[in-house]
Structure 1
């Protein structure tokens, strides 16, 4: 039975990139036939893809923030700026950190991940010795550390650790650092090494897209960035990183590297958030939400999930654990499927819509970049394309401006599909001109 009068209540947990667009699209889909609420720790939306720019002071955090309460109010969405403490799916109840409880008929989980810095000694900005661009707070700390590097140049290590499933920002940040250091005439005093759990440069957790291997290896060579793949970070000490390079089958340590550094940014592994972990039938052992082809949990069919919090198996065996990224296009297709399925349920039908799980990525390098489109994201694919050029940098700037406008305006129109078609269309015109 509906929790609020005669209308079912839909609660969205999380207001990041996926949760915000889900709120808008679900509100549009169900109209006045359901109440829609968003629960989120804090009132501010941050555009996470711009964090690498914040970390070199190409952006201030205020430029990539949106205050959500007025936007949600305008769209007729209740907004609760309090974090979740515990989910009780058997009772259809979400307990909040301030002691309140929120009942729901349908729950959409869009929490994003918890950052597992603690799994490697010395990793991360919270008591560790490496920087992060996963959150705007981390990016601001990374900017302060970059200022110290500029004042006293030395070796730099950038990359992603074992179990990571987000690799694009690591490549972006390595190239952005290279670009900014060149502008400051400091690059010749800063040796750079890229350390990654991927089996090869450009794997990206997707077994590559198009020629991402060739494109990114070429960029690294051009920019004098060395790399270590099949890398497992054992521990980090102040100014020293201990890395084990594994054999291709992962059976043995091929080489041990003690890497000195003055500055390091490593992306961590992800896991599910604490309020969800350990709920039998809802999440896997890592805490990610299990969903079917309709983005719905099999045990609790009134719970949907999207984005980084969703459980997706790796694309294949690797020497070091490598996760699958959940890119913006993929998340958008999940959102569209959930909105359509909730509309069907509210109107007395059954879910029938599936997300296409396509992927598009604009990896900005400051003075150029790499773009790829994978349809679907997980191979085999119908579209498997990648390209590079200065146009990617401009496209990323345009994407940032558009998406922030979309959030501020509360727009529900999907964007990534159009962007993918535009990029592929531009490339086709180039090839025929």
Structure 2
């Protein structure tokens, strides 16, 4: 019997637990280590920030569905991964031993990289349900005495969709409250252009997102490097293409949400041969670490080179469909190793994104996520808002009932068929 341990119970970790157990069957043990006893659907956090959702709507108690799948749940924070001894060390001195380890921790949020950044500083975040709830409280206070807003991402971030969504959703909510005319809005991003998304754009995301911002009277600054966040001001450098400083902006603000820089979590940082200098897990084409071949990495915690050189470094996002394909490859490769053969399965790295704007949105499909692509498609409309709300309900229902299936693949195929792109799927 093989003992498989999954570190992290976010999107990648939870669906990995389901998929690996389904693939390996009852003869092998699967355990998941989670800092909390619940899963949170992070894509809904911008809705929490404006009061359209609350915690109970977007969280899943892990105990019941994992018990149904016969997956062991270990609630606690991992202290350190010890590859030489094939175990995960816990803060109380105990250790969780493994034959195969799947690292799916997501990132650590490096708020401390920028002075004044984060919930303990002067900016809000949609990276965690706790942050979104704090942001919702601050938003209600803001609406009683409205003023300027700054939304966007700091240098080192590698997830830009939530920043765009937050800006548009807040703008929609301000219109509903009939105070939009009192709120100048500015979007700041390290991307070289609006709609780059860390992917050098998908279809016409540049045109679609610029058009949305113009229509909503949201100004923007690209090639932006945040120097400091204060309670009433964000100081930003705007860079030229050669990396020189073009202009320094001091943006007045009463409400700020910035996606933070990402780095690898403490449990894997500085483990020789496992991670790169920023603490992200190094993997090969089979999601396996070259130095420690019984360790796999999936999701936001893995190292992916940037798309190319940009004035401000821009990371590559790991979208749900891409992560799901990593999970499927990992489950099948572990099965092959248990059977005594070498792994052959590779993730497709396809991408689907539904970016909700409150009363509309932008969707894109990229196959593969990294260009050049076989499918490079984007579209916008009110249907995107409805599609994302529907997917949220479908996804959470499946997780709560312990069902394992290709959530994002089904959604992507639905979009491709609806827009007559199915021959390229």
What's the TM-score once normalised by structure 1's chain length? 0.96
Q: Could you tell me which of 166, 169, 172 is aligned with 2:162? A: 169
* Corresponding residue number in structure 1 for 2:247: 255
Which residue pairs with 2:115 in the alignment? Answer: 121
Q: What SS is found at the alignment partner of 1:173?
A: helix
Residues of 2 paired with 1:424 and 1:219: CA distance? 23
Q: 2:74 aligns with which of 63, 75, 80?
A: 80
Question: Per-residue deviation at 1:415?
Answer: 1.8
- The 2-side partners of 1:70 and 1:411 are apart by 12
Write out per-residue CA displacement over residues 19-77 of structure 1, whole angstroms, 9 at most, x where no aligned residue. 00000000000002311001111101101100000000100111111110121111111
User: Any stretches of 5+ residues in structure 2 without a counterpart?
Assistant: none
Q: Paired residue for 1:4? A: none
1:246 aligns with 2:239: yes
Q: Does 1:427 align with 2:419?
A: yes
Does structure 1 residue 227 correspond to structure 2 residue 206?
Answer: no
Alignment-derived partner of residue 19 in structure 2:
25
- Matched residue, 1:285: 277
- Verify the 8 A CA contact 1:30 1:346 in the aligned structure 2: no
Aligned to 1:89: 83
State the alpha-carbon separation in 2 of the partners of residues 265 and 333 from structure 1.
31
Q: Who is 2:289 aligned against?
A: 297
Q: 2:144 aligns with which of 140, 144, 151?
A: 151
Could you list the structure 1 runs, at least 4 aligned residues long, displaced by more than 2 angstroms after superposition. Answer: none
> Is 2:387 aligned against 1:395?
yes
How does 1:297-316 map onto structure 2 within 5 Å?
A: 297-316=289-308
Give the structure 2 partner of residue 185 of structure 1: 178
In the TM superposition, residue 348 of structure 1 has moved relative to its aligned partner by 2.2
Matched-pair contact (CA < 8 Å) for 1:82–1:98? no
1:360 counterpart residue number: 352
SS at match of 1:33: coil
Distance 1:319 1:281 in 2: 29
Aligned residues: 422
Give the alignment of 1:334-345 within 5 angstroms.
334-345=326-337
Paired position in structure 2 for 1:197: 190
The offset of 1:132, in angstroms, is: 0.3
Task: State the Cα distance separating 1:12 from its structure 2 match.
Answer: 0.3
From 40, 48, 52, the equivalent of 2:42 is: 48
Partner of 1:276: 268
- In the alignment, which of 61, 65, 71 is matched to residue 59 of structure 2? 65
Partner of 1:325: 317
Query: How far 1:18 sits from its partner (Å)?
Result: 0.8
Per-residue deviation, 1:137: 0.2
By how many angstroms is 1:418 displaced? Answer: 1.8
Match of 1:377 among 344, 366, 369: 369
Contact 1:233 1:242 in 2 (8 A): yes
- Unaligned runs of 5+ residues in structure 1 are 1-6
SS at match of 1:351: coil
1:428 Cα offset (Å): 2.5
